Structure 1
């Protein structure tokens, strides 16, 4: 069963404040995007990756993956993440018409272990229409009112934080995006909207999302 992966990486990463697209920010000499794609490659389960890059950075991103040209294809991304996923999905289906499993992976989760990728793919191959890697919520969660006063303490035993890659039967993701509006930040959430079942596999602490300069400093310190 052929597996393709989509990496929407056209965002500018304003919160990171690096002065460049977040996916291209280097960590210990290698960009977040490169590290994310390498994790997909090293899983041994992904046949092809489509990266949706900022339109003005496509040549630079293509050069970054010159040694993996048969594995990585770069397309211009859209104004919103949803647009980038749609564009990447269309290219993936053209490049690998027999693909049955599709992953959507954030470049910001550049340190996701290949084992997580394999677990997500395996779950889809075994029949799950949609799969997300998750971790238990560690912090106490409070529900507050409009004034900011606490209404209740939420039972966190059934709460999970979601990571990527998220995996889908390709026809399920296609249907979810056909029904989606213009903006969405969670692909599995789109499957939920059309009544699809979303399963989980264990995530990994290393799959933290690089969003702020503090997150980037933590990643650099760990690598050092």
Structure 2
């Protein structure tokens, strides 16, 4: 349904929240400030990501998961920038892994939330249409939904070797069956909570919430992603993001 969710056999109004884990340091962008706080068009990527979630008509709560010792700094940062007044913004300290940070973000959600988006702060330019496509699919009954794009490059499975060494190919997956997933990933809240309860933190922890849900035997649906929802991971990505933002500002008064 578009405006209600079934829980324990009863219908109650749907309320969507977004959790943005932003506790990582993003070493691939180089030394300095955490990746989520790098500026894009003069504004931290985290602010762009919060605005991207808050622009959705369905998202009424955004929980930002800050570095373990940086919650006050993130609150101050959010206070310095204009954000939609209709959206409640919460900040909580995160953990040592992304998996733990998402779990802490989920624990901070108001009790009437029925479904949740988990969005990478490093995907600051996801269009609102993509966000709402995910929300609509979850509210229509899908327990887990992920935006994705077809893979354009041929992908090889290899036997890993130390960095810089040649790696033998062991398989070539059929490209037509492959998709590159993006965020926000959307979930029925009870399903995602169960996935986090049943998935132990191993090493650096799980980096894909949809993968955790898959491990429960729950079907994950894909909806079309968008090429502008790319992840800003390396310096070249930041150059591309600046160009996309400049085009938006020139054409859409972004």
Q: TM-score range by the shorter chain?
A: over 0.9
Corresponding residue for residue 170 of structure 1 = 189
Corresponding residue for residue 179 of structure 1 = 198
Corresponding residue for residue 10 of structure 2 = none
Whether 2:61 is the aligned partner of 1:61: answer no
**Equivalent residue of 2:131, what SS?**
helix
**Equivalent residue of 1:200, what SS?**
strand
Which residues of 2 match residues 49-88 of structure 1 at below 5 A?
A: 49-66=62-79, 68=83, 71-88=88-105
Corresponding residue for residue 143 of structure 2 = 129
In structure 2, the CA distance between the partners of 1:152 and 1:56, relative to structure 1 (3 Å rule), is closer
> What RMSD over aligned residues (CA atoms) do the two structures have, in Å?
1.5
Greater CA drift, 82-91 or 66-75: 66-75
**Equivalent residue of 2:59, what SS?**
coil
1:2 to 1, 15, 19: 15
Which residues of 2 match residues 90-101 of structure 1 at below 5 A?
A: 90-92=107-109, 96-101=110-115
Structure 1, unmatched stretches of 5+, are: none
Asked if 2 retains the 8 angstrom alpha-carbon contact of 1:18 and 1:25, the reply is: no
Structure 2, unmatched stretches of 5+, are: 1-13, 161-165, 247-254
Higher helix share: 1
Give the TM-score normalised by structure 2: 0.83
2:45 to 32, 38, 44: 32
Partners of 2:239 and 2:142 in 1: CA distance: 36
Asked if 2 retains the 8 angstrom alpha-carbon contact of 1:129 and 1:172, the reply is: yes
Asked if 1 retains the 8 angstrom alpha-carbon contact of 2:115 and 2:188, the reply is: yes
Higher alpha-carbon Rg: 2
Corresponding residue for residue 9 of structure 2 = none
Partners of 1:75 and 1:143 in 2: CA distance: 38
Asked if 2 retains the 8 angstrom alpha-carbon contact of 1:32 and 1:107, the reply is: yes
**Equivalent residue of 1:56, what SS?**
coil
Partners of 1:107 and 1:168 in 2: CA distance: 18
Partners of 2:92 and 2:170 in 1: CA distance: 47
Corresponding residue for residue 22 of structure 1 = 35
Corresponding residue for residue 105 of structure 1 = 119
Partners of 1:141 and 1:208 in 2: CA distance: 18
